[in-house]
Structure 1
């Protein structure tokens, strides 16, 4: 799958209420959306994503897996 038409390395910022579980905004360079296993929670659809977390200063924090509200994810299409 490809993540819309943005350049590789795009950093996505998710508000605290749009991902599970953490405190404060999550800045993530998404590498993979695990679209095969969506979760229905709180009346919304959520997907597991994998990527690299980046601090607000641009420093790489490390690999991160999170559950993100589907409506906040970039569009995804098969390759």
Structure 2
């Protein structure tokens, strides 16, 4: 959690041309470390649901489509199929 982490003293990666000015000395970019583990975990779970679960239930959709087409041939179902 970002508010529990200790304050770090950031070192400038690129030296300033006029580093002796007080405005430049007081200004710094503050960044925080991002926890990419949680984002990667959500991404893997999303892919799992998208690919595995979608692929597992796809045959059920085809069986249901064939089941409904048999009723459509008999005239009992009157909606269009893809």
TM-score range, shorter chain: under 0.3
Structure with greater proportional strand content: 1
- Indicate the structure (1 or 2) with the bigger Cα radius of gyration: 2
Alignment TM-score, normalising by the size of structure 2: 0.15
- Using CA pairs under 8 Å that are at least 6 residues apart, name the structure with larger relative contact order, 1 or 2: 1
